[in-house]
Amino acid sequence: MLELTLQAPWFLLSEEVGAPEFSATQTLCIAWEYDLADVLQTMDPSRVKGLVCMMPAEQPDAPPWSPREIQEVWVHSSAMGRHVVLSDIAGNQFTCGLTPDHVGPIRKELLLRLASRPLCKQSSKLRASRAN
């Protein structure tokens, strides 16, 4: 059992481990976006199978957590500091932590880009049936 006492975004990173003919999927639970960036910098991006950001509710009447499937992870840095920028599968960019007031040139480093996947077939069928 894992208890989350912090109401902040956290990450589920799934990667392929082992030799290709005997591989398995391992999923890491990562608490901070900077830890995510550090882990990604040490990994072979081709072995990453998926990344989900679990977002805490923004409104009291909303579900306590909602998942956002991540397609890209960037680190933006300047003389004032660095921050992690995420892009979900819909193409929306967002951050999870504090963003420094960048001054001067900003260096943008792509840490991960997962291949695009079509949205769930069931969701497409549901949207089509609602349109009729």
| pLDDT of the residue at 98 | 79
> Per the structure block, which two tokens stand in for 117?
């996947």
| pLDDT of the residue at 122 | 45
In this structure, the strands spanning 48-56 and 10-17 are antiparallel
| pLDDT of the residue at 123 | 46
Q: How far apart are CA 106 and CA 75, in angstroms?
A: 10
pTM, rounded to two decimals: 0.80
| pLDDT of the residue at 20 | 77
| pLDDT of the residue at 126 | 44
| ∠ CA 113-116-67, rounded to 5° | 80
| pLDDT of the residue at 28 | 95
Exposed (0-12), middle (13-18) or buried (19+): which is 9, by Cβ within 10 Å?
A: buried
| pLDDT of the residue at 120 | 52
The stretches in the chain having pLDDT less than 70 are 2, 4-5, 117-132
Q: Is 103 helix (H, G, I), strand (E, B) or coil?
A: coil
Please say whether the beta carbons of 34 and 100 come within 8 A.
no
